[in-house]
Structure formats: C-alpha cells, structure tokens
C-alpha cells in the first residue's frame, strides 16, 4: 500500500504544480483567427487589421493575428463561424452592434453575442451623415423636407438592413413621417462609390472613412450620429441638435472569443488588447479617426451587452422592426 | 505635377537599388503565390504586412503591389498543366489552356500566358498612368443598373461556352446560378438553401467549386476511361516548348482585347478579375474566325483571359489611388497598409504623396519586365511535369487540389464540398454537360442578383431604370444579340460543324 502512495502523491504534486502556472499563463501557440463580418475594406475590416497590425508591430503576441473575412447576412455568417469554433482558444472576433441586432430580428441568426466569450469593448464610434459637396441639402432638415415632398425618391447607401445606417433611417422616418430608400451594398468601397457617383443622395459613414473625402472637398457632413460634437467637427450639429429627437444609436466595437474559451485565455486576450489600447499607435488611431476609446474590460462587457441589447430592442421596436427574440 | 514629370519622378524613386530589390521580391513572391492554389495574394500581403513597417512607404507599396500583380502571372501555371486554377482569375484559362496541354502544347500555352500577361499588364499600367483621373470618373458612372447589365452581358456568354448543346449549357448555367444563391441574403439577412448547415451561411467559395468540377472530375473521368494512352504528349525540343509564330500571330487581337477589357472592368469597384477574364474570353470567341476551336486548345482562349486578369491589376489601382476606394480584397489590404504607414489614401494621395503614387506606377513598368524574365525561362521546366506517368501525376493533381481547396479558408468542410463537386463534375462530363457555364453562373449570379435588387429598390420597382442609362441599355442590347447569335449565320454553322465532329 505504502509503495503505491508515493508515486501517486508525487504525481498529484506535479500535476498541481504544473497545472497552476500553465493555466495562468495561457499563450497562443498558433495563428489566431481574427474574424470580421465585413468584406475587405469595410470599416470593421480596417479596424481589425489596425489591431492586428499594432499587435505585430509592437510584438505584443508570440503569434500572428490573421484577419478572416466572413461577410454575409450582416453578422450571421461570422457569428456562425465563431460558434462553429466552440472551445477553440485561437478564434476571436471583432463584434459590433450588428452582432446583437441580427439575432433579435432574424430566425436564422441563432448565435447570440453574450453566449460567446466577451473579451473587451474597445471603442464607441460616432458617425457622420454626409452628402456630396455640391448637394442641395445643406442640413438634415432640408433632406427630410425633400424626402417628404418626394416620398421614396431619395436614397441612402449602407450595409445590411440591421446596420446602424438603417436603424437611424428607420428612427428618423418614424419621427418625421418622411420616407426614403435604403440601398444595401456589401462593401464599404461600393457604398462610397455609390455616393461619389451620385447614385444615392446620402450616407452614414465612419469619420475615418469620410475624413479624406471631406478634406478633398468631395463630401460635406451635415449631421453627426453622436451624443456630443466631435472635436474635429465642432460646427456640425448632432442629429438631436438638428431638431430630430431620436435615441442615439452608438456603434461599438469590441472583441469576443469563441464560446467556451477558457477564463485564462479570455484574461490573456483582455490583457493583450489593453496593452494595445495603451500604445501610441492606437492612441493616434483613436484621435485620427475621432473615436471614443474608453477600454471596457471583460467583466463589464457582458452586463453592458445585456443592457445594450435591451436598448437596441426598444430602438428596433420604435423603428418598426419585427423583434423575434 | 503633369504625367511626364510625375512618371520621371516615379522612375527616380523606383530605380533606387533598394526599391528595385523590393520590386523583384514582390514579383517573385507573387509568382509563387500565383502558382500555389489556395494561397491568394490577399492572404500573402496580410502575412507580409508586418515586415514592411520598417520600410519606406514607397518601398512597401512597391513590394505589396508586386505580389498583387505577380500572382496573376503565376495563376495560369496550374490551370494549364493540371486543370487546377491557381487563382480565381485563372479559372477561364483552364478551358483552353489545359486543352492545349492535352494536345501536347503545354509549353506554348504557358509561354502565351506569360506574353499575354506582359503585354496586357503593361498596357494596363500605361492606361493607369495617363488615364487614371478621367477613368475613375467613368467608374463612378457605374451604378447598379450598369452592373446588372454588365453581369447580363457576362451571362449571355453561356452561348459561347456551351459546346454543341445550348440546352445543356443553359441547365449548367442555371445550376451555377442556384449554387451562388446559397448562403445569407444581404438584403433581408435571411439564409437561403443552407439545409441546416451553418458552414453554408457564408456561401461557397468558387475556387473550391472550380477545382472540383474541373480537376477532380477530369481525373475521375480519365481513370474511368482507363486509357493509359491518355498520358499527355510532351514533344521534345525547345522549339516545341515555346509558342510558334503562328500561334502568337493568332493572338494579336486577344492581346488588345485582353488589355482593354481587363482594364475597363478592373476599374469598376464592383467587378473582380474573374469577371474580366470571363468577359475577355467571351469577346474573343464571339469575334473569332474559328470559334469551333475554342475549348479544344485555341491559343487566343489563353491569351485573352490571361491578358485581361493582368490588365485588371492596373485598372483596379485606379479607384484605389485616385479615390481611396478599394475594389476587392487585395486592394483593400493595400489601402490599410497605406494608412498604417501614415500615408493618407484618398483623393489627395496623388498630390500629397507623389513618391508613393508615381513610385508605384513606375515600379509596375519594371515589375512587368521582371515577371516576364522570371516566368518565361520556367516554361520548359514546368512543361516537364506532364512527362510523369499518370499513376504519379494523378495523385499529385488530387493532392494539390485538396490542399488548394483547404487553403481557401482552412475548413475541412470545403474538402467535403470539393469531393461533392468532383462527383458532380464527373457526372456532368459523363452526360456531356459543359462545366464552364456552371462556374460562369456562380461567379456572376451573385453580383447580378444584388445589382438587380439595388436597382429596383432605387426605382421603387420600376423596371425601366435598367435601360434608362445609355451604358446599361447598350450592354443589355449586346447581351440579347449574343443570346440570339446561335440562331444565325456563320456562328451557327461553326457550332453545327463542331457537333458533326463530335466535339
């Protein structure tokens, strides 16, 4: 009896000794897949590539972060892909509002964001309502009046029907009674081209995407989708200031892991992205693209997502969408 | 800065020894990426991006662009030799390229692909140099109705890809159109035909389908036929490994066609290199004096699509460099690379960063020469691959096909799809259904459906929006003319002749 206890105890001791630090020190051992739901060149794609690049540039991780594009059905394809990698410690995704929205409005979107492994919320993104520089619409009010006069004639370009572009449109149509069309384009490049070519009259676009076009005198911003005016656009009113009392629709971006990701791995990625958020390159990116870069940790992200989902559900109901979950 | 002094400045940047070196590295890597199916330029550029941070932005973009256009040179190699498209833009090259290889003309096919790539690639850059700003404005004229008409024109080419039976060609096309609708719909966010498979939510990749119905199906059909004599003839002697003067002369029009078609379609942000290669092939066949030779190893059938996909590179850089609009995956990554180097890509790039803009343009002239020098000497070497006996060659083809399909997005699910499409292709070959229309439908169907629905949303359901603009109206009329071609004249006789010959 005594003879078999010794190795057993030794083995136990070894196990506890090796398990402790090994777990606490999760490190990715192969390329991390960084899933985005947009096509290449979309805002989300550029954002994720920026993160991946800072990680590589500053050697913050021992492996590469490969951006994987899974466009299709808003976030549905990307979320489905992430869930199909359940338990994988090397699959993370860049989530936005649409990851919360899709499951609320469509039957096929069965994969919900808070069932995955939230890691961090990185930014809240304001947006600009822009028209062509030579457009007759100098204010959002003028656009709405024109839309009232010609119901269904004016057009916005944007992404999927559950995107912020469409949510804001729905809310504005609700409070004003005006009506105009929403044209879906799969990539950010095509949306920009549609406005530049004059095939639509207006679009809602990230300041990062619109900034260069405004600087070159191609676009004019007439309102901003934000709680308060952005530092770079002090003379542009927010939608509320423009006289349209609709709830603000913040666009958030953050990082989520595959479902069933170990707590150690979540902690690793949380710490990694916190480090990213402290780099000069990231701070410059936040400033250049006019974002709100408050870092929200994993422990707070999940309750935030749950409460924000409620907010979105209310917005959707006001917007007249059919909420199924 | 006018064009001449701009270009001069560009060459002073591109000819610096360091930049020449990076241009060579980019072209070399691009060639390798092109040859390996499944590894695309977009993934490679993303992979190498961190290496470029220490570089000057001009050197960086020169190298990354080298990978981008170099991949299109290499893409034809496996298409011609093994019937496996190396890149999505080389799918069409399989049709006549591999047929030439079967006729013992693998070397000339590779040579023609390289020369067509060089000629059209250079023309694409010349057009980029002199026409970029006005052409960018033309691209912006393209709205959804124009894209719809363009896709219709492309689909009408089914008539030319069908072989003897038009009905079978149309059925094959319909199958492709159905396959492309699998996945999640952009407009309603609802899934279609996914049969409970979440992996299908994002749709299928067309490289997987093309490898299945081309390469796997052909290997199966060959094994089934059991003839060892089917081993591909590779004549000895250098003369038989390079294109003959007659073959090059036959390709004159194809060089011009590929250059212009590729560039014009490349400029459009909503159409990719695969589409331009299909359309160039269609135009080539429609205007050919002997359309019956297409599909049986016509050198023009290699020159036109290979030229088009290279001219497309020059075109695709127009909206990227003049407007800051990326046209596809690879250019989007180049755009974010510019941002990371601190260059602001947008309408002001040309004036604010002349080193980057003109340096890149000038380096592409040099890169095309580098690529020709890299690729031509490899032709005799690659052609030797076909000397292998089938019991070695076939397993190699199957292996490359599997790796290529897996490499597209790294899912085992795609291997299953590959096997499924291999079987489908085999059945189609057995029943004499042409497979190119299926691929055509798959490539164009998605974009066509989207453009139609965008158009009808814009017009609130009024169909006349589709013919209101002169560009879309012209293309739709052209599409109808092409569809009616089989009913008339010389073209029909050629088809009948093909039937009589059992082709």
Residues of A in contact with B269 (CB under 8 A): 187, 189-190, 193
The pLDDT score that the predictor gives to residue B270 is 78
Task: Give the separation between CA B302 and CA B260, rounded to whole angstroms.
Answer: 16
Select from B271, B336, B411, B416 the residue whose CB has the most chain A CBs within 10 Å, as the one to mutate to test that interface: B336
pLDDT in tens, A163-199: 788 888 988 998 899 999 999 998 778 899 999 999 9
Contact call for A196 and B327, based on CB within 8 A: no
CB contact set of B4 (below 8 Å; sequence gap of 6+): none
- Of residues A106 and A81, which shows the higher confidence score? A81
The pLDDT score that the predictor gives to residue A230 is 85
Task: Give the separation between CA B52 and CA B18, rounded to whole angstroms.
Answer: 13
Q: Which of B429, A5, B344 is nearest to B335 (CA)?
A: B344
The pLDDT score that the predictor gives to residue B351 is 87
The pLDDT score that the predictor gives to residue A140 is 95
Q: All domains of chain A, ordered by start, with CATH?
A: 32-125+250-318 (3.40.190.150), 127-233 (3.40.190.10)
What is the three-class DSSP state of A123? strand
Select from B182, B201, B203, B410 the residue whose CB has the most chain A CBs within 10 Å, as the one to mutate to test that interface: B201
| Residue A19 CB burial class (10 angstroms; 0-12, 13-18, ≥19) | exposed
The pLDDT score that the predictor gives to residue B96 is 93
Highest mean pLDDT among A312-321, B86-95, B428-437: B428-437
* Inter-chain Cβ pairs, chain A and chain B, closer than 8 A: 173
Select from A103, A180, A194 the residue whose CB has the most chain B CBs within 10 Å, as the one to mutate to test that interface: A194
Mean per-residue pLDDT, B383-403? 87
In angstroms, what separates the C-alpha of B353 from chain A's closest C-alpha?
14
The pLDDT score that the predictor gives to residue B430 is 92
Contact call for A102 and B189, based on CB within 8 A: yes
Q: Which residues pair with A156 in a beta bridge?
A: A182, A202
Sign of dihedral through CA atoms B423, B427, B430, B435?
Answer: negative
Task: Give the separation between CA B89 and CA B80, rounded to whole angstroms.
Answer: 13
Q: Which of A161-170, B349-358, B415-424 has the lowest mean pLDDT?
A: A161-170
Mean per-residue pLDDT, B162-173? 87
The pLDDT score that the predictor gives to residue B503 is 42
Mean per-residue pLDDT, A198-214? 88
In angstroms, what separates the C-alpha of A238 from chain B's closest C-alpha?
26
In angstroms, what separates the C-alpha of B323 from chain A's closest C-alpha?
8
Q: Which residues pair with A292 in a beta bridge?
A: A124
- Of residues B163 and B100, which shows the higher confidence score? B100
Beta strands of B269-348 (E only): which ranges? none
Residues of B in contact with A32 (CB under 8 A): none
Residues of B in contact with A200 (CB under 8 A): 458
pLDDT value at A289 more than 80: no
Residues of B in contact with A68 (CB under 8 A): 409
pLDDT in tens, B357-381: 999 999 999 999 999 999 888 888 8
* pLDDT cut 70: percent of chain B above it: 93
- Whole-angstrom CA distances from A88 to A239, A273, B282, B337 are 42, 18, 46, 29
CB contact set of B357 (below 8 Å; sequence gap of 6+): B6, B10, B321, B349, B350
Q: Name the strand (E) or helix (H) holding A178.
A: none
**Residue in A with minimal Cα distance to B325:** A189
* pLDDT cut 90: percent of chain A above it: 46
Residue B182, token pair as written in the block: 């699998």
Q: Name the strand (E) or helix (H) holding A34.
A: strand A32-36
Q: Which of B67, B66, B60, B25 is nearest to B42 (CA)?
A: B67
Nearest 5°: the CA angle A47, A208, A98 is 55
The rounded mean pLDDT for chain B is 87
**Residue in A with minimal Cα distance to B451:** A185
Contact call for A184 and B186, based on CB within 8 A: yes
Using the structure block, give the residue that is written with the tokens 């029943």.
B431
Contact (Cβ atoms closer than 8 angstroms) between residue A93 and residue A82: yes
Contact (Cβ atoms closer than 8 angstroms) between residue B29 and residue B48: yes
Q: Which of A142, A202, A151, A206 is nearest to A173 (CA)?
A: A151
Using N-to-C axis directions, what is the helix angle for A43-57 and A280-288, rounded to 10°? 160
Contact call for A184 and B201, based on CB within 8 A: no
CB contact set of B498 (below 8 Å; sequence gap of 6+): B163, B164, B292
Instruction: Please tell me which of the candidates B46, B142, B327 has its beta carbon nearest to residue A189.
Output: B327
Residues of B in contact with A73 (CB under 8 A): 183-186, 189-191, 201
Phi, psi of B97 (to 5 degrees): -65, -50
**Residue in A with minimal Cα distance to B328:** A40
Instruction: Please tell me which of the candidates B189, B323, B345 has its beta carbon nearest to residue A162.
Output: B189
In angstroms, what separates the C-alpha of B238 from chain A's closest C-alpha?
44
Residues of A in contact with B53 (CB under 8 A): 53, 57
pLDDT value at A161 more than 80: no
What is the three-class DSSP state of A32? strand
In angstroms, what separates the C-alpha of A179 from chain B's closest C-alpha?
12
The pLDDT score that the predictor gives to residue B463 is 93
Mean per-residue pLDDT, B491-501? 60
Residues of A in contact with B196 (CB under 8 A): none
pLDDT in tens, A47-75: 898 899 899 888 999 999 988 888 666 68
pLDDT value at A21 more than 60: no
In angstroms, what separates the C-alpha of B179 from chain A's closest C-alpha?
15
Residues of B in contact with A181 (CB under 8 A): 457-458, 460
Using N-to-C axis directions, what is the helix angle for B144-156 and B470-484, rounded to 10°? 10
Mean per-residue pLDDT, A268-291? 90
Task: Give the separation between CA B327 and CA B320, rounded to whole angstroms.
Answer: 7
In angstroms, what separates the C-alpha of A195 from chain B's closest C-alpha?
9
Contact (Cβ atoms closer than 8 angstroms) between residue A294 and residue A126: no
Give the pTM: 0.83
Contact call for A56 and B347, based on CB within 8 A: no
The pLDDT score that the predictor gives to residue B12 is 92
Contact call for B186 and A160, based on CB within 8 A: yes
- For residue A201, the 8-state DSSP code is S
* pLDDT cut 70: percent of chain A above it: 88
| Residue B229 CB burial class (10 angstroms; 0-12, 13-18, ≥19) | exposed
Residues of B in contact with A105 (CB under 8 A): 189
Contact call for A76 and B269, based on CB within 8 A: no
- Whole-angstrom CA distances from B194 to A83, A99, A302, B183, B184 are 16, 20, 31, 6, 9
Q: How many CB atoms lie within 10 A of CB B54?
A: 9
Long-range contacts: A189-192, Cβ < 8 Å, 24+? A189/A41, A189/B269, A189/B319, A189/B325, A189/B326, A189/B327, A189/B332, A190/A157, A190/B269, A190/B270, A191/A157, A191/A158, A191/A159, A192/B323, A192/B324, A192/B325
Sheet order of strands, A117-125 included: A65-69, A32-36, A91-96, A251-257, A117-125, A296-297
Select from A49, A105, A152, A286 the residue whose CB has the most chain B CBs within 10 Å, as the one to mutate to test that interface: A49
The pLDDT score that the predictor gives to residue B486 is 72
Instruction: Please tell me which of the candidates A73, A193, A197 has its beta carbon nearest to residue B191.
Output: A73
In angstroms, what separates the C-alpha of B138 from chain A's closest C-alpha?
9
In angstroms, what separates the C-alpha of A12 from chain B's closest C-alpha?
38
Instruction: Give the CA dihedral B301, B304, B309, B313, nearest 10 degrees.
Output: 170
What is the three-class DSSP state of A65? strand
In angstroms, what separates the C-alpha of B488 from chain A's closest C-alpha?
39
Q: Which of B495, B478, B477 is nearest to B486 (CA)?
A: B495
Task: Give the separation between CA A1 and CA B216, rounded to whole angstroms.
Answer: 63
- Of residues A7 and B73, which shows the higher confidence score? B73
Q: How many CB atoms lie within 10 A of CB A3?
A: 6
- Of residues B130 and B88, which shows the higher confidence score? B130
Contact call for A74 and B190, based on CB within 8 A: no
pLDDT in tens, A216-273: 999 999 999 988 888 888 999 999 999 999 888 778 999 999 999 999 999 999 999 9
The pLDDT score that the predictor gives to residue B39 is 77
- Of residues A176 and A209, which shows the higher confidence score? A176
Mean per-residue pLDDT, A78-107? 88
DSSP-assigned states of every residue in A146-175: HHHHSTTT-EEEESSTTSHHHHHHHHHHHH
Q: What ipTM does the predicted assembly reach?
A: 0.86
Contact (Cβ atoms closer than 8 angstroms) between residue B328 and residue B316: yes
Residues of A in contact with B144 (CB under 8 A): 183, 199
pLDDT value at B305 more than 70: yes
Q: Are strands A202-205 and A155-158 parallel, antiparallel or unpaired?
A: parallel
pLDDT in tens, B194-240: 887 767 877 888 889 999 999 999 889 888 887 654 566 676 666 77
Task: Give the separation between CA B450 and CA B224, rounded to whole angstroms.
Answer: 41
Q: Which of A258-267, A285-294, B392-401, B465-474 has the lowest mean pLDDT?
A: A285-294
Task: Give the separation between CA A132 and CA A127, rounded to whole angstroms.
Answer: 16
Using the structure block, give the residue that is written with the tokens 């590729």.
B262
Q: Name the strand (E) or helix (H) holding A183.
A: strand A181-184
Contact (Cβ atoms closer than 8 angstroms) between residue B13 and residue B19: yes
Select from A189, A198, A286, A289 the residue whose CB has the most chain B CBs within 10 Å, as the one to mutate to test that interface: A189
């Amino acid at each position: 009896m005594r003879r078999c206890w010794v190795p057993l105890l030794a083995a136990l001791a070894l196990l506890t000794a090796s398990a402790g630090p090994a777990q606490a020190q999760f490190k990715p051992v192969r390329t991390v897949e960084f899933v985005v739901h947009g096509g290449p060149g979309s805002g989300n794609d550029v954002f994720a590539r920026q993160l991946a690049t800072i990680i590589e540039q500053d050697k913050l991780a021992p492996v590469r972060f490969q951006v994987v594009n899974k466009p299709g059905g808003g976030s549905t394809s990307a979320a489905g892909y992430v869930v199909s990698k359940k338990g994988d410690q090397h699959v993370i995704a860049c989530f936005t509002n649409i990851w919360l929205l899709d499951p609320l409005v469509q039957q096929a979107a069965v994969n919900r964001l808070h069932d995955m492994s939230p890691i961090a919320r990185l930014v809240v993104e304001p947006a600009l309502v822009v028209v062509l520089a030579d457009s007759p619409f100098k204010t959002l009010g003028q656009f709405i009046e024109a839309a009232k006069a010609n119901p269904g004639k004016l057009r916005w370009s944007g992404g999927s029907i559950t995107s912020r572009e469409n949510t804001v449109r729905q809310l504005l149509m609700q409070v004003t009674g005006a009506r105009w069309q929403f044209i879906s384009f799969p990539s950010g490049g095509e949306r920009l081209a549609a406005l530049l070519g004059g095939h639509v009259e207006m679009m809602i676009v990230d300041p990062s995407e619109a900034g260069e076009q405004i600087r070159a005198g191609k676009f004019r911003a007439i309102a901003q989708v934000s709680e308060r005016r952005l530092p770079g656009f002090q003379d542009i009113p927010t939608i509320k200031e423009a006289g349209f009392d609709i709830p603000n629709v913040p666009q958030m971006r953050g990082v989520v892991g595959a479902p069933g990701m170990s707590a150690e791995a979540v902690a690793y990625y949380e710490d990694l992205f916190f480090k990213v958020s402290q780099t000069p390159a990231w701070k410059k990116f936040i400033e250049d693209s006019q974002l709100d870069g408050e870092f929200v940790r994993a422990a707070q992200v999940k309750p935030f997502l749950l409460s924000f989902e409620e907010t979105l559900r209310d917005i959707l109901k006001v917007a007249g969408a059919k909420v199924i979950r | 800065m006018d064009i001449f002094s701009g270009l001069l400045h560009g060459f002073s940047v591109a000819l610096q020894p360091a930049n020449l070196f990076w241009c060579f590295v980019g072209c070399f890597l691009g060639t390798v990426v092109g040859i390996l199916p499944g590894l695309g330029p977009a993934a490679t550029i993303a992979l190498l991006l961190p290496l470029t941070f220490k570089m000057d932005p001009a050197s960086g973009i020169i190298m990354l662009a080298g990978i981008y256009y170099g991949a299109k040179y290499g893409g034809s190699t496996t298409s011609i030799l093994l019937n496996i498209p190396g890149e999505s833009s080389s799918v069409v090259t399989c049709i006549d390229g591999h047929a030439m290889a079967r006729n013992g003309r693998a070397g000339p096919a590779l040579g023609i692909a390289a020369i067509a790539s060089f000629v059209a690639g250079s023309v694409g850059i010349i057009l980029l140099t002199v026409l970029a700003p006005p052409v960018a404005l033309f691209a912006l004229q393209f709205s959804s109705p124009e894209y719809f008409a363009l896709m219709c024109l492309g689909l009408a080419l089914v008539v030319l890809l069908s072989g003897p039976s038009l009905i079978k060609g149309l059925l094959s096309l319909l199958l492709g159109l159905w396959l492309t609708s699998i996945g999640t719909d952009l407009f309603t966010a609802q899934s279609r035909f996914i049969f409970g498979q979440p992996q299908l939510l994002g749709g299928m990749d067309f490289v997987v389908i093309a490898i299945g119905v081309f390469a796997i199906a052909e290997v199966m059909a060959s094994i089934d036929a059991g003839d060892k004599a089917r081993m591909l003839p590779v004549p000895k002697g250098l003369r038989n490994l390079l294109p003959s003067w007659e073959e090059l002369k036959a390709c004159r029009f194809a060089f011009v066609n590929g250059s212009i078609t590729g560039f014009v379609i490349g400029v459009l942000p909503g159409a990719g290199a695969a589409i331009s290669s299909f359309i160039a092939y269609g135009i080539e066949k429609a205007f050919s004096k002997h359309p019956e030779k297409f599909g049986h190893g016509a050198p023009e059938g290699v020159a036109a699509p290979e030229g088009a996909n290279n001219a497309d590179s020059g075109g695709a850089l127009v909206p990227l460099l003049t407007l800051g609009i990326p046209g596809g995956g690879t250019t989007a990554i180049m755009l974010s690379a510019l941002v990371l180097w601190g260059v602001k890509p947008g309408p002001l790039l040309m004036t604010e960063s002349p080193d980057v803009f003109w340096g890149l343009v000038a380096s592409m002239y040099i890169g095309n020469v580098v690529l020709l020098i890299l690729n031509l000497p490899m032709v005799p070497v690659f052609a030797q691959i076909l000397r292998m006996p089938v019991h070695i060659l076939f397993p190699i083809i199957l292996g490359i096909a599997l790796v290529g399909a897996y490499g597209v997005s790294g899912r085992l699910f795609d291997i299953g799809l590959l096997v499924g499409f291999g079987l489908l292709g085999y059945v189609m070959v057995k029943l004499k259904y042409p497979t190119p229309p299926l691929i055509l439908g798959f490539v164009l169907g998605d974009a066509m459906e989207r453009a139609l629905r965008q158009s009808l949303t814009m017009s609130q359901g009024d169909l006349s929006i589709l013919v209101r603009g002169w560009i879309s109206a012209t293309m739709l009329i052209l599409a109808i003319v092409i569809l009616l071609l089989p009913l008339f004249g010389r073209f029909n006789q050629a088809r009948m002749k093909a039937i009589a010959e059992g082709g």
